[in-house]
Amino acid sequence: MTIKLALAGVGNCASVLVQGLKFYSGDERKGLWHPNVAGFKPRDMQVVAAFDIDARKVGFDLSKAVFAPPNVAKKYVSMPKSKVTVKSGLSRGDLAPHLRGVRLEKTSLDDVSKSLEESGADILVNAISSGSGSSTEEYARAALRAGCGFINCTPSLSLKSNKLVADFQRAKLPLVGDDLMSQFGGTIFHKGLLGLMVKRGIKVAKSYQLDVGGGSETLNTIDEGIKMAKREMKTSSVAEEVPYKFETIAGTTDYVDYMGNDRTSYFWFQGSTFMESGVTVDVYLRSSDGANAGNVLFDVVRATYKCMKVGKLGTVGEICAYGFKSPPKPMRFEDAFTKFSALYVR
């Protein structure tokens, strides 16, 4: 059985996902977190449709589009022709900063919905730019019309829209998100250290996380409006790990073009222990954004498809809490991981 995927947005995240499907199309397991999720292996997934609004990608075979500018994700494998041509995507005027001044190729909700139906896609993965909330909802509506599940990797809060949630539940389709959490990026690293401090009896007082990176996603995120929305989302996510109020901030601070798809996260923690003896931690993490998304997306897609097949639909809480920074019901990551593993990992 093949899980048929459609991609909204052919950026760095989509590039690494598509390359990962090629890399793990056989029996290769190096770097793979979960070879089997919900009874499916990576080779059981296939991209059957893709959409973008950047003219540098529209009309090209997906195998070429994933390496087209402004993508800077590393080329891990040579891609054979995919037979999937990137089609014009949706834009509701909420244009990402990195696309301003770029020639655009836009289409209608009806056209995207029709293309999804014709491709036979089971799930639409939304990986468009941050700050495109209206366009995200438009893609969700297109998926709904086409009978597709919807996975929202962006920080647009689709699962906070009661109407959208109700419509997906009524259609008996899964709606999963919001804001994909990397396998070992800044947010999960921050959450993990806070959780460890709490478990070891440290009274956490303050923490911060400052991210610096390259690539179009970071460039978009330093836009003031997007920056503050992302900061609020990340901060809320990390604060969930501590069962009392403390001071914390997490967010992107700057864009450095020559970092490519890499990101550096700086962390600082302050707390106290026995007889109020002070504890301070300074640490930094360097990682690759696209690759950091790969394993989590592989897991989320396979689990979501399983839910479609067994009739467990609507906003699937354990998948959202496992793979995303802003799930409908916040959960400590260890609890989310335990629940997800028990239900889907073999």
CATH code (residue 154): 3.40.50.720
Mean pLDDT for 31-40 is: 97
Give the domain extent around 230. 186-288
In this predicted structure, the answer to whether residue 12 has a pLDDT above a threshold of 70 is yes
Is residue 314 very low, low, confident or very high in pLDDT (cuts 50, 70, 90)?
low
Distance CA 27, CA 10 (A): 26
Averaged pLDDT of the chain:
93
User: Could you tell me if 12 and 98 lie in one domain?
Assistant: yes
- CA nearest neighbour of 18 among 261, 258, 298, 248: 298
Distance CA 295, CA 219 (A): 24
User: Could you tell me if 309 and 226 lie in one domain?
Assistant: no
User: Could you tell me if 100 and 246 lie in one domain?
Assistant: no
User: Could you tell me if 60 and 86 lie in one domain?
Assistant: yes
Mean pLDDT for 334-340 is: 94
Give the domain CATH number at 230: 3.30.360.10
User: Could you tell me if 233 and 298 lie in one domain?
Assistant: no
In this predicted structure, the answer to whether residue 64 has a pLDDT above a threshold of 80 is yes
> Which one of 240, 272, 288 terminates a domain?
288
User: Could you tell me if 335 and 204 lie in one domain?
Assistant: no
Q: Is the dihedral of CA 220, 285, 33, 329 positive or negative?
A: negative
Q: Which helix (H) or strand (E) holds 282?
A: strand 278-288
User: Could you tell me if 67 and 165 lie in one domain?
Assistant: yes
User: Could you tell me if 116 and 250 lie in one domain?
Assistant: no
User: Could you tell me if 116 and 221 lie in one domain?
Assistant: no
The three-class DSSP label of residue 39 is coil
Report pLDDT digits (tens) over 206-227. Answer: 999 999 999 988 888 887 777 7
- pTM metric for this prediction: 0.93
Left (φ > 0), alpha (ψ -120 to 50) or beta: where does 209 sit? beta
Helices (H) and strands (E) in the chain, counts: 11, 10
**Residue 287, both tokens:** 């990682």
The separation between CA 282 and the C-alpha centre of its own chain, rounded to angstroms, equals 27
DSSP letter at 339 equals: H
User: Could you tell me if 240 and 154 lie in one domain?
Assistant: no
| Structural domains counted in the chain | 2
> Which one of 241, 272, 288 terminates a domain?
288
The separation between CA 170 and the C-alpha centre of its own chain, rounded to angstroms, equals 25
User: Could you tell me if 100 and 221 lie in one domain?
Assistant: no
User: Could you tell me if 198 and 274 lie in one domain?
Assistant: yes
